[in-house]
Structure 1
Amino acid sequence: MTAKQDAQLTGVPSAAMTSLLPGPLVDDAWLAEHLDDPRLVVLDATALLPSPRHDGDHRSASGRPGWAERHLPGSRHADLTSDFSDPGAPCHFAVPTPEALSAALARLGVGEGSEVVAYDTGGGIWAARLWWMLRAISVPAAVLDGGLAAWQAAGRPLASGDTHPEPAVTPAVPVLRPRLWSGIEAVAAISRGEHPGVLVCALPPGGYDGSAPTRYSRRGHIPGSRSLPGRGLLDDTGRLLPRAELAARVGAVLGTADSPVVLYCGGGISAAGTALALTVLGRRDVSVYDGSLEEWSGDPARPLETGG
């Protein structure tokens, strides 16, 4: 494995690379120091996804109005409800084709040689989702730990306004890393015990055990999967837990198993947040089931279990 390939797997640049980013996670002090670097593009990935009031209640909205009201200076809004999802897919927030994703990035100024820091106002899951999509096409990216709240708590400046200069950059040629995604048949094979792997649900406990309303057609979790709520990997400020505590929480669910980990949630958003945590801990065998429970529950032939 080359140094570049190793760095792409871990999200941590090697000494042989000249990447600006120190790893998959940056703090507000690092970002403030590098905010004016011409290689760096800062993207707000916030979207709005209210808790369901009843089963089948799927409401979502763009986070662009909130970004226009207050955002990091020089940042642009990456709309995960439109440009950064596949409008023709049967599931919400489905990952776009690599070419469509590269083109959407170019419209925001991300081209060949660019590096991205993503942030949000929703606990990091939206930023992590964008980060995961960018990793899948080999765009160097990181997530701002704690998001906009951490930036603001540090007393750093904010901007407002709904315009940004036209970047007019050429789309980068996407370099695919397909192993970062898992499809429904691979998930089914792991669930049946026919393929090695550990299925992990990143939803809150009520989503996993079926006690809370779901946005989708049926409640519960994929048989054989384990529960590791993504929100439980954050502290009270929205930052990832300290490494030792993070490792303990993950270890309590995954144990010492070295099988590949496939993460899912309702629509591949919270799962990306958990993928970020596992990547920070150094795991390289992680993928996200993009369709997650929206796709799985939509097929009556796919089994679901309720309870702990």
Structure 2
Amino acid sequence: MSAAEFDLIARIRARAATRGDVVLGIGDDAALLQPPPGRQLAVATDTLNRGVHFGDDAAAADIGWKALAVNLSDLAAMGAEPAWCTLSLSLPDEGGESRQTFVDGFLDGFLELAAQHRVALVGGDTTRGPLSVCVTVIGFVEPGWALRRDAAQVGDEIWVTGTLGDAAAALALAGVAPYCDHEVRNNSGDAQTDAARLFERLHRPTPRVVAGRALRGLARAGIDISDGLLADLGHVCAASNVGACIEAGQLPTSHALAAARDGDSRRVLQLTGGDDYELCFTVAPRQRASVLQALSASGTLVQMIGHIEAQPGVRVRLPDGSAWTPPRNGYQHFG
């Protein structure tokens, strides 16, 4: 290990917070962690690469925030409580000062979000190469209480948190294919503010950790929306051996998205766009009031958008009762 790498690790360690259950953190060959008794560990890993998940002009702080947020979203979808994380950074050889500037900015965003959820950075790796970020998060969940993809039942209601399509609309505004295949308009009185809100949703998604915890014992199945609602709900249906019908008229829409898109163009973004990092979950109808109460207490917007059915596949129904077929189901890394 070079002196420059030691200095980089020391720079990261100096800023990383810790917790009482971290016996040994950054600086040794492995971290030593003490899980609480009677809990299962939930573990998730995501990688973000330049040119795939963010562009050359992305702010370092936004990359740091999103790298952790997408992983926390996976824990939220399981109803898990975040605790620890590791970070692997591949950095281009762009000179010491430039590298340090990026790492400092990256940590600004990464550790800001980590502090919000009491997540301790306990280890990882640094190496030279194309800009890439890999994060692993570890959390706790009570045995038998995790939200899983394979538990949806026919007759369940389908719900989502937040609003859908905002991040994809930002990609459309940025001219990123395939999101830019329809004209984007700004018909509100404050188009610049609306656009800023869409880009905020793209660059700094909100992991629904509190909502995920609130859904334990209420929701049956759950998943986070990363590749598009149709694609991700399709994973739930496949794992549960069921199908689904989505009511297009019930999709939650932000003011900013309503100002930018309408009709089929908006539906494409909301159903297939991805990068929302909201939760999609199924609920027995008898739990409806309890879900509304629990998520209201957590300050989370929630909307019922459809039902689980026996017929395989995910269908979309328009307000007039007719079926609607999207041009795609969602984002595919190897499509």
TM (norm. structure 1) is 0.30
TM (norm. structure 2) is 0.29
Query: Which one has the bigger helix percentage?
Result: 2
Query: Which one has the bigger strand percentage?
Result: 2
